[in-house]
Amino acid sequence: MAENISEQQKFLIKTLKENGASLVGFGDVSSVKSEIAKNFPVAISFGVKYDQKVVENLHLDEESFHNHLVELNTPIKQLISIIENLLSKWGYQYETVPINILIKDNQQLRELQTFPHKTAATCAGLGWIGKCALLVTPEYGPRIKLGTALTKAPFSTAEPIVKDKCGECALCIEACPYGAIHNVNWEREIEREKLFDAYVCNEKRLDYIPVIGRKHSCGLCLQVCKIGKVV
Ligand code: B12
């Protein structure tokens, strides 16, 4: 059984990958302005890739895409509990970040306090923030659901990614039906609002509640991204 920190880190990565994690990374989040990051400066960031077929079809079958996103909560929860069990066993303190939060209105969006998975993921070197304001990974583009645990365990951390690799690409800008994406390249300290109007995206999808009984899942910005796309 893994005894020193480096063996423990290797064992954790191996166990997460064997249990469905598509990507795993470790990031130093101590520079993030957040109480939780001050206390737990190392992020364990992981993702489970989306089913490519469901994504390719989402403009025709939004319901299957919505169901797929919900179903992915199960492997993410399992991976979180693997992390919890191992860190507890090894005697390291940790906090986990909720997988998702249903944003019911723009007031809630404005006041949101949760630790952002995307921040953990760029710090862990898993990818960059695309023009679409999503984490874009070289392997799967933005088609990956994220999970995060923050810990005091002194795992070694990756070189962070601090700039995007979207270049001149404007596919997500053209695909967004609400004109919410501004065609701006991300750098680490840039505010989300410069990239993307989260309030418009949220409102327009909430408008579907009387029609389909829930928020629309849309997903067009992540469907068109050419990074990591299997053709
Ligand atoms: C609020 C929220 C929304 C809002 C705002 C979206 C947004 N882009 O921020 C609304 C309702 C619009 C929304 C929409 C969607 N969402 Co949403 N949402 C969240 C939630 C709950 C919180 C995000 C948050 O706190 N944002 C706060 C801002 C300030 O931070 P940020 O958005 O993460 O981005 C900035 C920082 O990360 C910063 N940054 C990056 N690295 C670093 C490093 C350092 C050191 C610092 C200081 C900063 C920094 O750069 C970014 C730009 O400024 C997360 C879950 C979570 N806890 O993370 C899911 C999440 C972001 N959503 C997700 C998804 C999939 C969606 C949708 C596709 C909807 C759907 N069908 O599920 C759309 C996509 C729209 C889009 N293009 O973004 C996924 C994204 C996965 C990915 N690959 O990126 C997440 C991570 C959920 C998950 N568990 O996977 N969502």
pLDDT in tens, 90-108: 999 999 999 988 888 888 8
pLDDT in tens, 183-226: 999 999 899 999 999 999 999 999 999 999 999 999 999 999 99
Cα 134 to ligand 1 centroid, rounded to whole Å: 6
Cα 210 to ligand 1 centroid, rounded to whole Å: 25
Average pLDDT rounded to a whole number, residues 160-187: 98
Please give the number of the atom of ligand 1 that sits closest to the Cα of 32: 47
CB environment 83-98: b (16+ within 10 A), e (fewer): beebbeebebebebbe
Looking at the predicted structure, is the pLDDT value of residue 1 above 70?
no
Cα 181 to ligand 1 centroid, rounded to whole Å: 13
Looking at the predicted structure, is the pLDDT value of residue 43 above 80?
yes
- Per-residue pLDDT at 102: 85
Q: What is the mean pLDDT of the chain?
A: 96
**Residue 159 DSSP label:** P
Instruction: Give CA–CA dist 202/187, Å, rounded.
Output: 23
The residue whose CA is least distant from atom 72 of ligand 1 is: 217
Per-residue confidence at 230, pLDDT binned at 50, 70, 90? confident
